[in-house]
Amino acid sequence: MKSALIPLMLGVALLLGGCAFGKFDTQCNQSNNADKERADQSPMEQFEGSCYMENTEDVIYLAGGCFWGMERLMEAIPGVIDVQSGYANGMSKDQANYQSVCSGKTGFRETVRVEYDPSQVSLDGILLAYFYVIDPTIENGQGNDFGSQYQTGIYYTNDKARETVLRIADVERGRHNKFAVEIGPLETFYLAEDYHQDYLQKNPNGYCHIPKEEIELFSKLRIDPGDYKKPAAEAIRDKLTTEQYRVTQEGGTENAFKNEFWDTFEKGIYVDVVTGEPLFSSTDKFESNCGWPAFSKPIEEPAVVETEDLSFGWRRTEVRSRAGDSHLGHVFTGELESPNGVRYCINSAALRFIPFEKMEEEGYGYLKYLFE
């Protein structure tokens, strides 16, 4: 556990006072000399000499277990401007220090403040990266760490962020039998001690509950789910055919060998029929005797979500689209026909095909690198 890896530091001065955020009223607290020295460098603006107010619209606060790992993940995402570790939504400023928070009795969550450039990455993208690496079913813990300080949570500071957070949380809640992530406004936030900031940059071999492979993965992604938001339920019904709706919204399965793409191999990409989010490429499509389109992998791993499916009395792995939460099909391993042993068995009715020649015209030119 993280707490065993570093010595406790006694008497560390708190770096920032409490935060007030528009209509989310919180008490202003008197800052100390260390606060004042850091004020010019902080993305928070000093207000009336003692209270810090969030002055940036494009910011979100994420509690995802140990803040060392969550900070490193967010720093890796292109378009994220600044990440700071701290303690959120606790009971008392006097307890906003590592020694007190480690007791698990302060109400504080280890949290990172994430500021981002919306022209480069959407809040949808940040939140779905967050949900990709956490287990949203666990209370008071992530990875090897347990205690109320490791409770997961998403805390917003304005109505624009609130709308996005609630929309994404609603999608994620529907994917799990239990959903333990706190969702709500930020009440207070205090920066953690200096040695916690950029901890894994300073200590590359330090403890991290998020696999390095996943951090590296998110540093290279090009598809932003924020560009492919799920339409309202009524709009989906109006947009889809009866078969497309049955498959994507009701979890249906189309007939084998009697669907549009099972035996086509034209150059291009396959996108979610509901949102248009890119899912699969013809470069990863292979001939299969299953009777449905078969792919060895998605264009980007996080573009699809895998969930347990116990229907019909046997265990399978269902595949759903990330942004649209459309039912796509199932994924199987140990497949001899697949070049990597994996077969994503996908319903044609869940897909729309974009020929290579039309990718630029339809806004997918940024994915032409797949065919180089």
In CATH, what number is assigned to the domain containing residue 237? 2.170.150.20
Domain boundary among the residues 165, 191, 221 is at 221
Same domain flag for 234 and 135: no
Query: Annotated catalytic, 19?
Result: no
Residues 128 and 190 in one domain: yes
The reply to whether 246 and 323 lie within a common domain is: yes
Domain count, the chain: 2
Domain with 135 in it: what CATH number?
3.30.1060.10
Question: Mean of the per-residue pLDDT values for the chain?
Answer: 87
Based on the fold, state whether residues 98 and 234 are members of the same structural domain.
no
User: In sequence order, which ranges of 20-86 are alpha helices (DSSP H)?
Assistant: 33-38, 67-76
**Annotated catalytic, 345?**
yes
Same domain? 265 vs 207: no
Q: How do residues 318-357 score in pLDDT, each as one tens digit?
A: 999 999 999 999 999 999 999 999 999 999 999 999 999 9
Residues 23 and 128 in one domain: yes
Q: What is the mean pLDDT of residues 163-187?
A: 95
Report the pLDDT averaged over residues 100-104: 95
Q: Structural domain of residue 327, as residue ranges?
A: 227-371
Q: Indicate whether 228 pLDDT > 60.
A: yes
Residues 53 and 113 in one domain: yes
Supply φ then ψ for residue 291, to 5 degrees. Answer: 95, 0
195 lies in the same domain as 281? no
| Residue of 19, 51, 66, 208 marked catalytic | 66
DSSP strand pairing (304-309 vs 294-295): unpaired
278-281/19-20 β-pairing: unpaired
Catalytic option among 19, 51, 208, 345: 345
Q: Are residues 207 and 172 part of one domain? A: yes
Same domain, 178 and 298: no
CA 359, CA 190: separation in Å to the nearest integer?
46
pLDDT in tens, 279-327: 999 999 999 999 999 999 999 999 999 999 998 888 999 999 999 999 9
Average confidence (pLDDT) over 156-171: 95
Domain check: are 268 and 355 in the same one?
A: yes
Residue 306, number of CB atoms within 10 A of its CB = 14
- Tell which of 190, 221, 252 closes a domain: 221
Q: What is the 3-state secondary structure (H, E, C) of 283-349?
A: HHECCCCCCCCEECCCCCHHHEEEEEECHHHCCEEEEEECCCCCEEEEEEECCCCCCCCEEEEECHH
Q: What is the pTM of this model?
A: 0.83
Query: What SS3 state is found at 140?
Result: coil
> If you average pLDDT over residues 138-148, what whole number do you get?
96
H runs (alpha helix) in the chain: 33-38, 67-76, 98-101, 123-133, 159-173, 199-202, 212-218, 233-239, 242-250
**Domain termination residue (choose one: 183, 200, 221):** 221
Residues 183 and 79 in one domain: yes
